[in-house]
Amino acid sequence: MSDYNFAYLDEQTKRMIRRAILKGLAIPGYQVPFASREMPMPYGWGTGGVQVSAATLTPDDTFKVIDQGADDTTNAVSIRKFFEKTAGVATTEEASAASVIQTRHRIPEDELREDQILVYQVPIPEPLRFLEPSEVETRKMHSLEEYGLMHVKLYEDIAKHGAIATSYAYPVKVEGRYVMDPSPIPKFDNPKMEMAGIQLFGAGREQRIYALPPYCQVVSLDFEDFPFEASKADHACDMCGATDSYLDEVIMDDAGNRMFVCSDTDYCASRRKAGHVGAQGTPFEETAA
Amino acid sequence: MIEIRNLSKTFTLHNQGGAVIPVMHGAELVVAPGECVALTGASGAGKSTLMRMIYGNYLAAGGSIVVDGVDVVQSEPREILALRRDVLGYVSQFLRVVPRVPTVDVVAEPLLAVGAESEAARAKARELLARLNIPERLWSLSPTSFSGGEQQRVNIARGFAHDYPAMLLDEPTASLDATNRETVLNLIEEAKARGAAIVGIFHDEAARARVCDHEIDVSIYTPGLTAGAA
Amino acid sequence: MTPLLKVENISKFYGNRIGCENVNFDLYSGEVMGIVGESGSGKSTLLNCLAGFLTPETGEVRFEMRDGEMRDTVTMSEPERRMLSRTDWAFVHQHARDGLRMNVSAGGNVGERLMAVGARHYGNIRAEAVDWLGRVEISEERVDDRPTQFSGGMQQRLQIARNLVTGPRLVFMDEPTGGLDVSVQARLLDLLRGLVREMGLSAIIVTHDLAVVRLLADRLMVMKDGHVVETGLTDQVLDDPQHAYTQLLVSSVLQV
Ligand SMILES: Nc1ncnc2c1ncn2[C@@H]1O[C@H](COP(=O)(O)OP(=O)(O)OP(=O)(O)O)[C@@H](O)[C@H]1O
Ligand SMILES: [Mg+2]
Ligand SMILES: [Zn+2]
């Protein structure tokens, strides 16, 4: 551990990032530019989130990493190891035990508390990018609150698919002011963004940080006649029986047998530990690793 | 209704060595409501030029042309346009056709411009087209493809659609057959009867004698020409 | 009666080259003014200064706001000016691709301005888009097609619908019929005439086609080398031009 400065980045850089975070918290949903550093991992592997985590972690923190809800993917494991090695912080897979959670594409099912921080990895922070390629123009649109274009995107969705087909990275308006990309979380997670915890968003390649302070108003954009719906597969988890969690569909065999399981592995495991069993589930002890 | 004082007109041909051509000098004309005044004079004497100046289509060099209290010589474009819309009608020799617009709408347009209800305007247009013997099957077509005589009659129908208090008629009966000529003369008489002040150019002497109260030979205002000279 | 637009002493230079210089005019509600002149005479420069795309070096462009107050749009804040561009003003570009979103459906293109001013009912937005497509003679079946699938004339009509849907009071047009063949032009002009009268629009149309101004414009302004050389009633300027340049312009066009 002594080979690295605490959490890899030098103090100067962490201060710079913290200033960006504080500015982001002060102006919820506003994209703050920052000087992204080279990290010992390629862009697209969460370098934005990692830098934000590095600037946020203290030696007393307990750190959790999830990748699409799972703690055990290569990406999650390597980021967790990275901070175990460079910061020596405690790590956990239990959402409720973590003080800082870095995530890619999900929000944990368990409600976050005021003493918890959720750090998102963000690939494309600009929600207007798909329709307006010019950065100069999108910045102007944000500063002048010209968000008609965002609804044009939803309009196109309905015109083409009969419903708003955008199912992840579903745009939101923060505190009635900035339109924000929530990172590619499923729209099922959007309502959870009005939470007690602090949410920080880091985009490494695009060099942007933005944030949501606790209890911030986060409204998913929609039309009066096509209201936003936080939809999920109409099914219960086959492992733990949960009906309120976001589900992944897993193809089980060549015959095409399928199974729906909680995308949040920690949530599913803790339910099963508590004795819940889904339609295709088995009692907890036998499958626990 | 129409009062012209000391009107003059010159053309400056900048692209022909800046030649200045005086065409009218000291013209005077007064037309009361219900009166029709004929402009006469040899070809080139300035009849059409005078008429175009009254309409604001040619710019006067000096003097005044007061129509219903508005001096056309001094007015802004929008004031002239308002005058043309509400007060001053003009039947020119040629119909300037707007592509694609059906004949009935071409005729109804002056009424629509003064705020007439669309169906009433079209009804009036149809009535005039019928009076001027334009076959009904042509009403829904653009007059672009009509014969010269048909276009002329459409032009007259359009000119008489709105009851203008003042009217300018440039050879309205030229090239019309006896029946249509009679209709046009009736239209002129009806306009006079309702109080329109009319200035007309008629090469057709019988027509002139029938509808005009005065004649004025514009040659007397043509510099270098005397009345009656060719 | 106060003018809708009061243009005072507008000058724009490109380095030491004159774009346009000392332009003055008033435009009243319901008036359509044409600006003609040869290539490079400053027509587009002037139009862009008026519409807020270029900042003139001198002068004021005062516009009558909805509350009746005359405001200088050159010095007003950018948000206010952009708001005007989305509501009370419209700009029809010569090239449809400058005025349309080519990757968005026809309906989305027309609906954008509605959504920009707060429309949030999909059904109503779509109904209004379809209605406007109809008014510019584009059939309802094309509402979900992208402008890339449209002919030049259709793209231009779509651009007009997209601009007029919010009921602007002033429309700027830069060569709206340029590059279209004659019969397509005629249709477009006829359409524009109808809309101008129906909606009581005021418009400023830049063109070098005298037939276009003859049909559309009440008034005409002739420009040469960045200066206004002649103004007046359209038919008067065309039939009895006073300035040497206008005479040349008119005589070089055989039939207008
Ligand atoms: N961006 C520019 N940079 C330098 N000079 C320019 C620029 N735009 C226009 N000019 C110059 O300003 C003058 C007026 O040009 P402008 O484009 O306004 O003419 P226009 O009347 O619109 O011409 P056209 O009929 O070709 O569209 C010309 O001398 C032109 O070369
Ligand atoms: Mg131009
Ligand atoms: Zn589960």
Nearest CA distance, B22 vs chain C (angstrom): 14
pLDDT tens per residue across span A188-237: 999 999 999 999 999 999 999 999 999 999 999 999 999 999 988 899 99
Q: Is the CB of C43 under 6 A from ligand 1?
A: yes
Tell me the two tokens of residue C185.
Answer: 């032009």
Helix (H) or strand (E) run with residue C11 in it: strand C5-14
Nearest to B98 among C190, C234, C240 (CB): C190
Among chain B residues, the shortest Cα distance to C238 is held by: B57
- Residue B228, pLDDT > 50, answer no
Q: Please give the single-letter amino acid code of residue C121.
A: H
Can chain C be said to touch chain B, i.e. do they have 3 or more Cβ pairs within 8 angstroms? yes
pLDDT of residue C187: 75
Choose between B213 and C252: higher pLDDT: B213
Q: Which residues pair with A33 in a beta bridge?
A: A208
Q: What is the mean pLDDT of chain C?
A: 90
| pTM for this prediction | 0.82
Nearest CA to ligand 1 atom 1: C14
Pairwise CB contact (< 8 Å): C232 & B14: no
pLDDT tens per residue across span C105-117: 999 999 999 999 8
Average pLDDT value for residue range B164-184:
93
Question: CA–CA separation, C238 vs C256, rounded Å?
Answer: 8
State the DSSP string of A112-137.
PPTT-EEEEE-S---TTTTT---HHH
In chain C, count of helices (H) and strands (E)?
10, 10
Pairwise CB contact (< 8 Å): B99 & C187: yes
pLDDT truncated to tens, each residue of chain A (289 aa)?
457 899 899 999 999 999 999 999 999 999 999 998 988 887 777 899 999 999 999 999 999 999 999 999 988 999 999 999 999 999 999 999 999 999 999 999 999 999 999 999 999 999 998 888 899 999 999 999 889 899 999 999 999 999 998 999 999 999 999 999 999 999 999 999 999 999 999 999 999 999 999 999 999 999 999 999 998 889 999 999 999 999 999 888 888 888 999 999 999 999 999 999 999 887 776 554 4
Nearest CA distance, B77 vs chain C (angstrom): 5
Catalytic residue chosen out of the listed positions A48, A237, A278, A281:
A237
Q: Is the CB of C77 under 6 A from ligand 1?
A: no
Residue A216 known to be catalytic: no
Mutate to test the interface with C, among A130, A145, A155, A222 (most CBs of C within 10 A): A155
Nearest to C122 among A149, A155, A160 (CB): A155
Question: CA–CA separation, C109 vs B157, rounded Å?
Answer: 42
Pairwise CB contact (< 8 Å): B57 & C240: yes
So where are chain B's domains? 1-87+164-230, 94-163
Pairwise CB contact (< 8 Å): B59 & C232: yes
Q: Is the ipTM of this complex over 0.85?
A: yes
* Residue whose token pair is 């038919």: C235
* Residue range B1-87+164-230, CATH number: 3.40.50.300
Pairwise CB contact (< 8 Å): C215 & B77: no
Nearest CA to ligand 1 atom 26: C39
CB of C253 less than 8 A from some CB of B: no
Tell me the two tokens of residue A182.
Answer: 């929530």
- C246 — pLDDT class (breaks 50, 70, 90): very high
